[in-house]
Amino acid sequence: MRIKAFYIVCLILSNLLSISCGEKKVAPVAEKKLPNIIYILADDLGYGDISSFNPGGKINTPNIDKLAQEGMKFTDAHSPSAVCSPTRYGIITGRYSWRSELKNGVLTGKSKALIPKSRTTVASLLKGAGYQTAFIGKWHLGWDWAQKDSTNFGAEGWNPEDFDNLDFTKPITNTPNDLGFDYAYGHSGSLDMAPYVYVENGKSTAEVDHITEDTGDYTWWRKGPTAADFVHDDVTPNFFRKSMNYIKEKSKGETPFFLYLALPSPHTPILPTEEWLGKSGLNPYADFMLMIDDYVGQLTKTLEEQGLDENTLLIFTSDNGCSPEANFELLEEKGHDPSGIFRGHKADIYEGGHRVPFLMKWPGKIRPNSVSNETICHTDLMATCADIVGVDLKETEGEDSFSLLPILDKGDSTGYKREATVHHSINGSFSIRKENYKLILCPGSGGWSYPRPGTDDLSVFPKFQLYDLKVDPSEENNLFEKYPDKTNELAVLMKVYIENGRSTPGTKQTNASLHLNGKEWHQIEPILSH
């Protein structure tokens, strides 16, 4: 035993001497390479529209399901809002949109920029960490079109004449490029919102030369100015082509990249290309879903072909629940519910409005076929990216963002610090979720399903709703009057989150004014007076 130990010591000394004499060099430990990050955001895609989340559904999505097989599926993921613009604000900033000027509803295609240049975004954070950054797709967070008459912005409406004062030949300002994106290509609002113009790095890509509209059952969009190169049917394929070309281009270098691919689909207009029409056997919406799934497969194949798959964090999710424009009645007749087992749909405070599919694939980091049942939110992207690159967020950054990295590392909730999650409906109504209890601070849906504010008589319903989602995921049994202590606990926590300007630990921050367009932000009154 002593002889063996003696030889080991001699061997160590020999190696040290050879290094000092220059006979043998030890290679330095390679620095850990930062991953590429791709965030694919679908538009109005329901929790039940991905087959791995809804095995009993009738839409088969094998390529998106493959992300679950090779990565992690989150069964309790949520958008911060049940509609487009506020969710996108939360993704980009790590902050709830109702802290900004946007307290309810969505922006239009003409709206001015919502996010100031002074606010840190996921893109500017990653750019500061050495990433190349790109946005491709539907922006819907406002930018400032050039005006022919700077003293007259005109109505922010939907009629063609509302766009007469916009000058599409001049550069726009306050663009995604001003928020940290090195490259930006997309259109301003939803695909049914004029103007229909591609903007690349602050400039229109073609002359606006005609007015278009479609009024079909699935294919409708609002009448408005359209550029020569803008073809509605080709917008989704175009964004995927652009994204795959971007991946190919970046594969030639060593710099990590962040790609935010914000799809305009399957939001209206519902436009599956000819080869996909009728493929689902259900309706055009389901055909559109099959087309999106196929393009996701093409994109992941591109990553593999370019040798980037192993060092890329790929995220797929949706901005909110499915819209009733998908024709729920027909789909349900054929055995498919876009919301799965959950109540409501897009715009609603109910789960169908904001519980969304969420998948993350990161080979070597995330174990294949792993599942997380932790309640997470889209706003968590900011803190997760900061954690990946080793940057500490400032007090004024990511006020509602919690890093998902501990979940990816350990496969459980260890280290994930989210206490509760706030949701927001289209009319600005709140709910707050902590563990299995969800308190809804309004008597109805706050959106488009029954009981609908402004349409149905809400006076016959309790002013608040409390659900135990563990035993009642479909939100059928209101426990508000049965559990007053739980109601009070959650209402007080919501009040704290509002008054502190954040839900993360840190110094108090300021929300934007509680008034919007001269009207009181009435949804906050029952909370602050509770």
361-368 average pLDDT score: 95
Residue, of 447 and 8, whose pLDDT is higher: 447
Please check the confidence at residue 27 and state whether its pLDDT lies above 70: no
361-372 average pLDDT score: 95
Residue 361's contacts (CB-CB under 8 Å, 6 or more residues apart) are 67, 70, 71, 72, 313, 314, 315
89-105 average pLDDT score: 96
**For the segment 272-302, what is each residue's pLDDT rounded down to a tens digit?**
999 999 999 999 999 999 999 999 999 999 9
Sorted by where each starts, the structural domains of the chain and their CATH numbers stand as 422-528 (3.30.1120.10)
pLDDT of amino acid 525: 60
pLDDT of amino acid 415: 87
338 CB-contact burial (10 Å; exposed 0-12 / middle 13-18 / buried 19+): buried
397 CB-contact burial (10 Å; exposed 0-12 / middle 13-18 / buried 19+): buried
Residue 66's contacts (CB-CB under 8 Å, 6 or more residues apart) are 297, 300
Helix (H) or strand (E) holding 72: strand 72-78
Please check the confidence at residue 312 and state whether its pLDDT lies above 70: yes
Band the pLDDT of 7: cuts 50, 70, 90. Answer: very low
pLDDT of amino acid 126: 98
Max distance between CA atoms of the chain, in angstroms, equals: 94
Band the pLDDT of 154: cuts 50, 70, 90. Answer: confident
Please state, for a pLDDT cut of 70, what percent of the chain lies above it.
Answer: 90
pLDDT of amino acid 529: 61
**For the segment 452-489, what is each residue's pLDDT rounded down to a tens digit?**
999 999 999 999 999 999 999 999 999 999 999 999 99
- The β-bridge relationship of strands 132-138 and 183-187 is parallel
Contact 3, 226 (CB under 8 A): no
pLDDT of amino acid 19: 36
d(CA 455, CA 441): 18
167 CB-contact burial (10 Å; exposed 0-12 / middle 13-18 / buried 19+): middle
d(CA 377, CA 484): 27
d(CA 24, CA 257): 37
Band the pLDDT of 150: cuts 50, 70, 90. Answer: confident
In the three-class reduction of DSSP (H, G, I as helix; E, B as strand; rest coil), residue 355 is classed as strand
d(CA 95, CA 111): 20
d(CA 300, CA 492): 45
Contact 325, 448 (CB under 8 A): no
Q: Which residue has the tokens 């009448």?
A: 223
Please check the confidence at residue 356 and state whether its pLDDT lies above 70: yes
For helices 62-70 and 284-305, give the axis angle rounded to 10 degrees.
50
Flag the least confident range among 90-94, 147-151, 202-206. 147-151
Please check the confidence at residue 9 and state whether its pLDDT lies above 60: no
Band the pLDDT of 238: cuts 50, 70, 90. Answer: very high
d(CA 145, CA 168): 7
Helix (H) or strand (E) holding 422: strand 421-424
pLDDT of amino acid 159: 85
For 299-324, give the DSSP string.
HHHHHHHTT-GGGEEEEEEESS---G
Please state, for a pLDDT cut of 90, what percent of the chain lies above it.
Answer: 86
pLDDT of amino acid 530: 55
> Rounded to two decimals, what is the model's pTM?
0.92
pLDDT of amino acid 514: 59
Beta strands in 238-373, from DSSP E residues, in sequence order: 257-266, 312-318, 355-361, 370-372
- Dihedral of the alpha carbons of 357, 362, 365, 367, in degrees to the nearest 10: 50
pLDDT of amino acid 417: 95
- R_g of the chain, CA atoms, integer Å: 25
- The β-bridge relationship of strands 132-138 and 257-266 is parallel
Alpha-carbon separation of residue 470 from 150, 323, 344, 476 (angstroms): 55, 25, 17, 12
pLDDT of amino acid 58: 97
- Give the ranges where 77-163 is alpha helix by DSSP (H): 84-93, 122-128
**Average pLDDT of the chain, as a whole number:** 91
